[in-house]
Amino acid sequence: MKIAQIAPLAESVPPKLYGGTERIVSYLTEELVAQGHDVTLFASGDSVTSAKLVPVTSMALRLNPHVKDPIPHHVILLEEVRRRADEFDALHFHIDLIHMPLVQDFIDRTVTTLHGRLDLPDLVPFYRAFPHHPLVSISDHQRLPMPPVNWAATIYHGLPTDLLRPRLGATEGYLAFLGRISPEKRPDRAIRIAARSGRKLRIAAKIDAVDRLYWESEIAPLVEQYPHVEFIGEINETQKAEFLGKADALLFPIDWPEPFGLVMIEAMACATPVIAFRCGSVPEIIQHGVSGFIVDSEDEAVEALRHLDDVNRAGVRAAFDARFTAQRMAADYVALYQDLRDARTASTQMRALRKEGAELQIV
C-alpha cells in the first residue's frame, strides 16, 4: 500500500533524545517499509528513515533555538500533506488534532493515533466537534474521558524485537526506576517500596525544569536519607538495555492515567518483570503473575517483591514477543488501513449500483 506517516515536528524521527511519539512513528515506519509497503514520512528534515522523507523543516523544532512558535511549522506540514493527499491509500496522523478540519475531503483514507492523555478539559468540546474522525487509542483505558467518537481500534505500541535483548541470566540485584522525576511518576513510592523490601533501587531519570522544585523538596532528601537508593541521572537508549536487563524488576508506581507506558514493554523486552500500580493502561499491558505484578498499594508492592522468583524471566520476554513487537503493531495498522480501503471500495460499488439503478429507472 501507499502509506503516509505524518509525525510531529518537535523531535526528529527517531528522536535524538526524548520523544515517545516520534520513536513509535519511527518503529512503525521502518517496519512498514520492511513489510514491503511504499511509505512516505512527513517529518523534520533531520529525521532518518528508509521510507521517503518529506522534510517539512530543516531540523526538529524543540532543539532549534531559532524556533519560537511550533504552530506555523505544523501548518506548513498540513499544507504539504494536503497537496499530496491524493497519492496515498492511507494517511496516518500522529499530530493530535490540528489536521482534523483539513482532512474532510479524504477522511475515508485517514486515521489518527492519539498518543497523549485525553482527560484534559479542552479536549471534550473538541472531540464533540469531530465525532466521525477515525481514531486509534493506544490503550482502552485512554478512551475513558472521551465523548462518543469514531474509535477505529486500540493498537498497542510495539518495539523492534532486537532493540532490547532479553537478559535471562543472573541479574545484579537491584530494582529499577526509569523515566522522569515528577509527582505523577511517584519516585517517592519507589524509594519506600525498595527500602521496605531491603533491596537496592537505581533511579535513571531526567529532571525537567518544571519538576526541579519537586526534586529538590521531595525526592532529593529521600535519596539522601536512604543509602540503598542511587540516582544515576539520564541514560540513553543504548544504556537502557543494560540498566533494565540487570534489574530484578522495574518499579512503575505511577499515580496518573498513563495512556500506554513504553517503559513497561521495554522492561519486558529485557525479560525484566514489572511491578506496576493499577493506573491507566497498566492492567492491559501487564499480565499479573506472567510479566510482573499489578498492585494497588505500597504494601502490595512489597508483598509482590517477595514473590518475584515466581515470575519466569523467559516468560516475561515471551509476553513481550506475543503482544508488543513492532511487527505486531505494524500488522495491526495495515489491517486497519485495509479496512478503510475495503470500506471505500464497498461504498464506491454501492454508489455505482445506486447510479446504475437510477439510470435503469430513467430508461
Q: Which residues of this chain interact with a second copy, rule CB under 8 A?
A: 57, 66-69, 71-73, 75-76, 78-80, 82, 97-98, 100-102, 104-105, 120-123, 125-126, 129-130
Nearer Cβ to a second copy (84/196): 84
Least distance between a second copy and beta carbon 149 (Å): 14
Neighbours of 276 (CB within 10 A): 31
Nearer Cβ to a second copy (131/357): 131
Q: What is 306-346 written as a DSSP string?
A: HTGGGS-HHHHHHHHHHH-BHHHHHHHHHHHHHHHHHHHHH
Helix H or strand E segment including 23: helix 20-34
| Helix 313-323 and helix 262-269, axial crossing angle in degrees, nearest 10 | 120
Say if CB 11 and CB 62 are below 8 A apart.
yes
Nearer Cβ to a second copy (124/343): 124
How many Å apart are CA 71 and CA 81, to the nearest integer? 15
Say if CB 247 and CB 164 are below 8 A apart.
no
Least distance between a second copy and beta carbon 243 (Å): 34
With cell 518537535, the residue in question is: 10
Nearer Cβ to a second copy (71/363): 71
Least distance between a second copy and beta carbon 125 (Å): 6
Least distance between a second copy and beta carbon 75 (Å): 6
Nearer Cβ to a second copy (67/222): 67
Nearer Cβ to a second copy (76/353): 76
Least distance between a second copy and beta carbon 346 (Å): 26
- Give the residue from 9, 122, 114, 7 showing the smallest Cα distance to 59: 9
How many Å apart are CA 109 and CA 136, to the nearest integer? 14
Least distance between a second copy and beta carbon 154 (Å): 22
